[in-house]
Structure 1
Amino acid sequence: MTGMRLARGGVAAIGLLALAAGLSGCKETHSAAAPPEAEARPVRVATVALEPATDSVRYPAVIRPRVEADVGFRVGGKVIARLVEVGARVEPGMALAKLDPTDLQLQIKASQAQLASARSDAANAGGDFARYSSLRQGEWTTRQEYDRRKTALDKAEARVREVEAQLRVLTNSVQYATLVADEAGIVTATLVEPGQVVAQGQTALRVARLGAVEAVANIPEQQLGDLPKRRLSVELWAQPGSAVPGTLRELSPSADPGTRTYQAKITLDNPPPGLQLGMTATVTAALDHGGLVARLPISALTQREQKPAVWVLSQAAGSQAGPQGDAHAAGTLELRPVAVAAYAGDLAIVAGGLKDGERVVTAGVHKLDAGQKVRVWTEPAR
């Protein structure tokens, strides 16, 4: 029994020694392996594109004609016909609307009868004056009677001229019963309908003259001072990306009581084809300050010693996408101070500290360290 116990104890001792040797061998193998290299962090970047330093402001605007006239009849009466509709193009001399000419024609006939009577009175006065003139030469009548006959003749002749003038006015009035266009244009509003009785001078139609067009915008009072100095351009919403140079023609001297803004009229120097009145547009007022700036997302900004800075990526960082969408080639980061000139929406206008073509990190900038290895993140193809 004692021998069997000794044998079992020896076997156990041998097993423990073998296990210890195995564990020791594993530990030595693990310690001999090199430590893993730190993994490069993927980052989103934006490429710096320097452009001229320009301060731009944008205003909504509407395309209007430079000249839009309210036209109406020069006489009153009942409208019997309107010959144009809104949007119709008119030419000089084209009939636009008509009044009932019956009353005017009757007035002409009455004036013609008055003219005939006045001419008869003038002829009778002329005969009397001729007889009294002969009598005066022979001293057969008084000077007083002669002068009275001369006055009667003058009054009769003046009456003839008066009635003739009235007849010409009435003749013109018949012509005024037809409203005609003075210049080429487009009808923008119709304010009368057949059967309506209108007064003399009442607006019947609104006609926009062809030619110069303008963009009308409302300007806040704090931006009035430098508006005449700015370079103006107009971009139609219907033709995005096509800016038309403009010239400030008029700036209202008083503010609108409702919006407290000042109306500005910008004449389009070279209107594009397809431009229509009433189109919506954007007026851009730019002021050049000199130098170059870069527009970066605000998310790219961090701080260095309480001053703005950005993380600049070394040129070694590649942009090849791996299976998970990140890049293989790694680069390092440099925290570089920059000068921010202004903010425009979600963009920062950087006026100094960067070069054209450099890449800056635009996301997670507060979790990065100088010299940290990173790789450019690119969106995986879908």
Structure 2
Amino acid sequence: MTPCPDDPPAPRHPPPRRRRTPRHRIGEGTAMGSRTLDRESDEASEVLARTRRVVDPVLRAAVHSLPGTMRRIASYHFGWEEADGTPAHGDPGKAIRPALVLAAAQALGGSAEQAVHAAAAVELVHNFTLLHDDVIDRDATRRHRPTAWSVFGSADAILAGDALHALALRILARDPHPAGAAAAARLADCVIELCEGQHADCAFEKRSDVTLAECLAMAESKTGALLGCACALGALYAGADPEAADALDAFGRRTGLAFQLIDDLIGIWGDPKTTGKPVGSDLAARKKSLPVVSALRSGTPAAAELAALYAAGRPLDEAELLQAASAVDRAGGRDWAQTEACDRMAAAMDHLARAVPDPAAAGDLLTLAELVTRRNR
């Protein structure tokens, strides 16, 4: 569902299949525009399914090369196995990041087959961060099942995440493609930025003076950096020049920030039946998400009400969760986040138009960008 009054501005001379859809706020149901959204959802599903068909064999081969314990934890995390090692058919995630690698490569004249190792490396890094994030945040569920740390323990989940990180770099180091070395260096720089973003996110929980600028910078490092890196790696594997790679990196970063803004909205108002997480989990943990920081800095009575709830020094109960969500909304945090997501996507489209002169070639990248801005889980 789109959070925007209109679609994000498309690149110059957009493909004719794009349509406008009405305004919709996360957590509010609507039947309007459902046919358009269903069609675009089908387009995104096909892009992601194609990605899975190409990337999954490389991903599974990499994970299966791990030592026994690490392999078992990683296979559980990906939804391939139960905790006891028996086969499972769990949710392995949407594969948005590897899809961006392949789409970027194809948009600039490369092929999915050439970039498959880069796509697998990006997906491994993403899942390494998820394993660590779940430990840091003490999240009990992910993808509708218990998190790896809650099943195997924190130490084992952290080590499995470390192993996935090492696998990502090994895949690129062993890739005979001429872009492999540059891709490995770029991915390593990205991981450093991800760590800095995660550190800032944790530090914000202990501060009452977090600014919106700080919060946006943290979100770009924590979320936007990997989406930008995914697009840049696709460009490198297509043999693109540095300017095109940097423009696609900027496209991915802006898209990633929009993704984080909407993810933060879902963290407050998303339906647990579709998110797989408890209702208001971010509020319960008193996280300084983007809508919350916007609300806290609004100077409104609702901001003072929210600040008092966050100062409680303990997880919020069910009644307090409802009160906090209402305060964020009344303080303007919800509308600010949705508007900001639209603005970031507009900037992303400008960068995409610079990187890909032929808009028809950018079809899959546009589809993935729309998936980000229309998601409700």
Normalised to the residue count of structure 2, the TM-score between the two structures is 0.17
Larger helix fraction of residues: 2
Task: Specify the structure having the higher radius of gyration (Cα).
Answer: 1
